[in-house]
């Protein structure tokens, strides 16, 4: 394949005895071997000192001179990191070798190196994140050794060691098994959370969730037969040397320059489907290396592995730091390669590990270059590393120790790679860890599986308040009053009505005669302060439904209820006006009563004229029968009395009919208000409540099975 470089066959792991490997590229803090400068031959015997000091992370270790007695150089060159706060131990001057040769106990001239650092390091500086006290000044070799000050641990260190008590040596736990189908289902639920939270939840959280959905979708579409394992670390941590040792080839350059690894390198076992995955990861084709030769069949147990050597996370070049950050977020399994002298680097613990709390199952912490540590101090160092991982970073990864120089831990690390590749679940586990980290923040906005509703009493109260705000009762009263007035004028006794017209009307005098006019109609719109009262009614209903919900759902429910607030008063007024009967159309019986009343008026008038004629004739001496006088008087009085009684009875009928109209208008008006309240207020509120229930259900589905 054009995008991959194939190398020579893999060599065996470096052995503690220094057996000749295919390529010895131990980075060891960015140090390579070189011959120390010759000692001044003119200098005579002089006092010498031996120092127990940590090696410089960025300085190359000088190559030790070949011993004359055939001693193993690896033993002669062994320098271990001191115990925390270990004092400088002076060696008696009698031990100095003659002839100006380098001190066999200090062939690397480390005393001079420490002396060069003494003036440049502040007293507040620390080694590996732990207080060491002031850095001692190394005296000149020509001077007598300075008296050694006693060292005592600081109170902070004592308190730290008293507080931390690891429960057990290994606290790493694997990720609960999750199938691909289960992960996809949980991602679908996360998509629902993002959909419902857009515009209302923390924008950063929504953006992170969307990024995870895009990342997970892309990773699941790519090769499931490959596992991406990344070696991450800072400058001088030895990750490139570890990468070369695991690959069996010199694929990634090592050195002390900063940064050494300028781009991600990938070593691939099994090419089918890897090209698209590497392209998605962003590994340049020239840095892709494949192990596909016949001589690589011994590594068949690694088939499907893509091993990445990442750029230094603390690179001075922003582009390389960005590339490292991208691959740290993308790798299926992350191996943090830590320097034993800088394992407490705040940049690692606070910027990366603390941000990946909960990713312990898909993370490995490798304490590299362990050959530089006194074996008696390894356990203390591991305990302190676990303390930092637990207390500072909040992660609990697997912890291993390795050394490319001695080969220690390489077999265990390779076995871990073999097991991870064989399980084919690292990609799913990493996505699950990312998912659970994001989901934890979504729990602020809901309770998994919770429900909510608009209580029926609140719904009834909403309808009543809207009806009151819309003036349903006032309009019904107006309908009743108008009908009674019109009916009284239509069926009342005409003589009484004519008599009232003769009186002075104060309303007409004040030009308010329209109030008693027959043309007065009931109101066709809401009465009173409509919008303010309607808004108050909606707010009360929303509060009853959502006040117990977490933010921002109460505000969302209120906003949903107010969706149609601008048009709601007009809609209510129009709906109620449609229930008001047309007062211009009078009942048919009114006209019949009016005709009868006018006939009675005419009869009474005729009887009165007859009675008057009979009285005139009787007074004038005419022949007038008394019976006729009585009859004429009876007709007149009877017509008047009958007309008055008819008017009173018809007015009572009009009152009853007006009351019925009032009740009908109020009932129909309330029904219209209820219909509009359901359509324009209740429906949006219940839709938002349904969104909350849907959110809670999705929150339940996105959480791992069995979690309460």
| 446-457 burial: b if 16+ Cβ within 10 Å, else e | bebebebebeee
pLDDT in tens, 360-375: 888 999 999 999 888 8
Q: pLDDT at position 613, please?
A: 83
Q: CA 85 to CA 53: how far, in whole Å?
A: 10
Band the pLDDT of 127: cuts 50, 70, 90: very low
Q: Name the β-bridge partners of 233.
A: 337
- Going by their DSSP bridges, the two strands 333-338 and 363-367 should be labelled as parallel
Handedness of CA 208, 213, 218, 220 (dihedral sign): positive
Q: What is the SS3 assignment for 149-168?
A: CCCCCCHHHHHHHHHCCCCC
Under the banding of pLDDT at 50, 70 and 90, the label for residue 327 is very high
Give the pLDDT score at 517.
Answer: 52
Q: Answer with the residue of higher pLDDT: 342 or 465.
A: 465
Share of the chain above pLDDT 90, in %: 30
Residue 105 reports pLDDT greater than 50: no
**Contact (CB, 8 A) for 108 and 28:** no
Res 628: pLDDT: 82
265 - beta bridge partners?
A: 309
Q: Given pLDDT bands bounded at 50, 70 and 90, which one contains residue 470?
A: confident
Q: Mind listing the pLDDT tens digit for each residue in 552-605?
A: 999 999 999 999 988 888 888 888 888 888 777 778 888 888 888 888 888 888
Task: Give Cβ neighbours of residue 50 (< 8 Å, ≥ 6 apart).
Answer: 89, 90, 91, 95, 103, 105, 106, 111
Mean pLDDT, rounded, of the chain: 74
User: Where is average pLDDT lowest: 132-136, 341-345, 431-435, 539-543?
Assistant: 132-136
Exposure of 354 in the CB half-sphere (CA atoms within 13 A)? 12
Rounded alpha-carbon distances, angstroms, from residue 50 to 65, 110, 128, 294, 539? 18, 9, 23, 51, 82
| Average pLDDT estimate for 156-165 | 48
Q: Compute the average pLDDT of residues 485-495.
A: 83
Report DSSP state, residue 331: -
User: Hey, is 583 helix, strand or coil?
Assistant: coil
pLDDT band at 705 (very low <50, low <70, confident <90, very high): low
pLDDT digits (tens, 9 = 90+) for 56-77: 333 334 444 444 444 444 433 4
Per-residue pLDDT band at 260 (split at 50, 70, 90): low
Mean pLDDT of 378-392: 85
Mean of the pLDDT values across residues 425-443? 91
> What pLDDT, on the 0 to 100 scale, is given for residue 44?
41
Specify whether the CB–CB gap between 193 and 442 falls below 8 A. yes
Average pLDDT over residues 233-237: 85
Tens digits of per-residue pLDDT, 392-406?
Answer: 777 778 899 999 999
Is the pLDDT score of 326 beyond 60? yes
CA pair distance 689, 192, nearest whole angstrom? 15
Q: Apex CA 116: angle with CA 115 and CA 122, to 5°?
A: 90
Residue 256: name the closest of 404, 488, 57 by CA: 57
Tokens of 388: 């930092």
Give the model's pLDDT for residue 541.
93
Pairing state between β 288-290 and 5-6 = parallel
pLDDT at residue 299, rounded to an integer: 61
Asked whether 304 and 227 are in contact (CB, 8 A), the reply is yes
**pLDDT at 301 (0 to 100):** 86
What is the band of 212 on the pLDDT scale with cuts at 50, 70, 90?
very high
Predicted pLDDT of residue 506: 54
Burial of residue 92 (number of CB atoms within 10 Å: 0-12, 13-18, 19+): exposed
Q: How confident is the model at residue 116 (pLDDT cuts 50, 70, 90)?
A: very low
Q: What is the pLDDT of residue 480?
A: 87
Indicate whether 440 pLDDT > 70.
yes
For residue 77, the SS3 value is coil
**Mean pLDDT score, 310-320:** 81
Q: Which range (78-87, 185-194, 420-429, 501-510) has the least confidence?
A: 78-87
Q: What is the DSSP letter of 127?
A: B
Alpha helices in 390-529 (DSSP H): 410-423, 426-442, 456-470, 472-491, 494-501, 506-509
Question: Two tokens at 249?
Answer: 């080839």
The residue whose two tokens read 């490798």 is 366
Bridge partner list, 544: none
Helix 494-501 vs helix 588-619: crossing angle, to nearest 10: 80
Of these ranges, 131-140, 169-178, 406-415, 610-619, the one predicted with the greatest mean pLDDT is: 406-415
Q: What is the pLDDT of residues 17-45, one digit of tens each?
A: 333 333 343 333 333 333 344 434 343 44
Count Cα neighbours of 474 within 13 Å in the Cβ-side half-sphere.
14
Mean pLDDT, rounded, for 254-260: 53
Average pLDDT over residues 650-676: 90
Pick from 384, 430, 475, 394: nearest CA to 83 = 384
Q: Residue 181: its pLDDT value, please?
A: 92
Rounded average pLDDT over 474-481: 86
* Among the ranges given (95-104, 265-274, 396-405), the one the predictor scored with the smallest mean pLDDT: 95-104
- Report whether pLDDT(12) > 50: no
Question: What's residue 291's pLDDT?
Answer: 76
């Amino acid at each position: 394949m054009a995008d991959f470089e194939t190398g020579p066959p893999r060599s065996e792991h470096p052995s503690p005895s220094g057996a000749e490997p295919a390529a010895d590229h131990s980075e060891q803090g960015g140090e390579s071997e070189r011959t120390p400068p010759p000692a001044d031959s003119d200098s005579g015997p002089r006092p010498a000192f031996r120092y127990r000091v940590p090696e410089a992370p960025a300085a190359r270790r000088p190559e030790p001179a070949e011993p004359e007695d055939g001693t193993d150089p690896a033993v002669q060159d062994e320098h271990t990191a001191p115990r925390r706060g270990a004092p400088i131990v002076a060696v008696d001057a009698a031990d100095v070798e003659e002839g100006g040769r380098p001190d066999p106990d200090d062939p690397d001239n480390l005393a001079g190196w420490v002396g060069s650092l003494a003036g440049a390091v502040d007293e507040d500086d620390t080694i590996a994140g732990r207080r060491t006290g002031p850095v001692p000044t190394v005296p000149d070799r020509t001077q007598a050794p300075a008296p050694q000050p006693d060292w005592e641990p600081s109170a902070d260190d004592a308190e730290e060691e008293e507080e931390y008590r690891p429960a057990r040596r290994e606290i790493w736990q694997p990720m609960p098994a999750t199938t691909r189908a289960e992960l996809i289902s949980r991602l679908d639920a996360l998509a629902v959370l993002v959909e419902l939270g857009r515009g209302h939840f923390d924008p950063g959280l929504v953006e992170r969730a969307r990024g995870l959905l895009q990342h997970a979708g892309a990773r699941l579409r790519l090769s499931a037969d490959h596992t991406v394992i990344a070696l991450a670390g800072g400058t001088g941590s030895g990750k490139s040397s570890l990468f070369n040792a695991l690959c069996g080839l010199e694929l990634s350059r090592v050195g002390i320059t900063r940064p050494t690894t300028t781009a991600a390198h990938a070593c691939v076992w099994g090419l089918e489907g890897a090209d698209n995955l590497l392209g998605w990861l962003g590994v340049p084709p020239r840095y892709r290396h494949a192990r596909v030769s016949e001589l690589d069949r011994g590594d068949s147990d690694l088939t499907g592995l893509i091993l990445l050597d990442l750029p230094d996370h603390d690179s001075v070049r922003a582009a390389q730091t960005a590339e490292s950050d991208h691959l740290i977020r993308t790798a299926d399994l992350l191996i943090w390669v830590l320097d034993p002298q800088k394992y407490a680097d705040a940049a690692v613990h606070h910027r990366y590990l603390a941000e990946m709390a909960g990713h312990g199952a898909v993370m490995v912490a490798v304490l590299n270059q362990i050959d530089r540590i006194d074996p008696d101090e390894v356990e203390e160092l591991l305990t302190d590393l676990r303390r930092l991982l637990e207390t500072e970073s909040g992660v609990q990864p697997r912890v291993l120790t390795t050394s490319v120089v001695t080969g220690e831990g390489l077999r265990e690390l390779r076995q871990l790679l073999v097991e991870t590749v064989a399980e084919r679940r690292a990609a799913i586990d990493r996505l699950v860890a990312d998912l659970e980290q994001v989901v934890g923040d979504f729990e602020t906005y809901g309770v998994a599986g919770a429900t909510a509703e608009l209580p029926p009493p609140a719904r009834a109260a909403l309808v009543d308040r809207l009806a009151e705000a819309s003036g349903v009762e006032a309009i019904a009263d107006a309908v009743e009053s108008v009908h009674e007035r019109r009916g009284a004028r239509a069926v009342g006794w005409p003589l009484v009505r004519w008599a009232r017209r003769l009186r002075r009307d104060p309303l007409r005098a004040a030009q308010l005669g329209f109030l008693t006019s027959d043309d007065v109609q009931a109101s066709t719109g809401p009465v009173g302060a409509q919008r303010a009262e309607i808004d108050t009614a909606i707010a009360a209903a929303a509060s009853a439904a959502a006040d117990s919900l977490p933010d921002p759902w109460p505000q969302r429910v209120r906003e949903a209820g107010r969706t149609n607030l601008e048009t709601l008063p007009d809609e209510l007024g129009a709906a109620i006006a449609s229930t008001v009967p047309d007062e211009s159309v009078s009942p048919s019986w009114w006209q019949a009563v009016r005709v009868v009343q006018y006939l009675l008026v005419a009869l009474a008038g005729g009887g009165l004229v007859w009675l008057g004629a009979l009285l005139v004739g009787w007074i004038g001496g005419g022949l007038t029968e008394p019976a006729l006088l009585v009859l004429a008087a009876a007709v007149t009085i009877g017509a008047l009395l009958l007309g008055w009684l008819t008017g009173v009875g018809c007015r009572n009928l009009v009152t009853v009919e007006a009351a019925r109209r009032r009740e009908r208008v109020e009932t129909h008006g309330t029904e219209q208000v209820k219909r509009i309240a359901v359509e324009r207020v209740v429906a949006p509120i219940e839709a938002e409540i349904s969104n909350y229930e849907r959110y809670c259900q999705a929150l339940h589905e996105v959480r791992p099975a069995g979690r309460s």
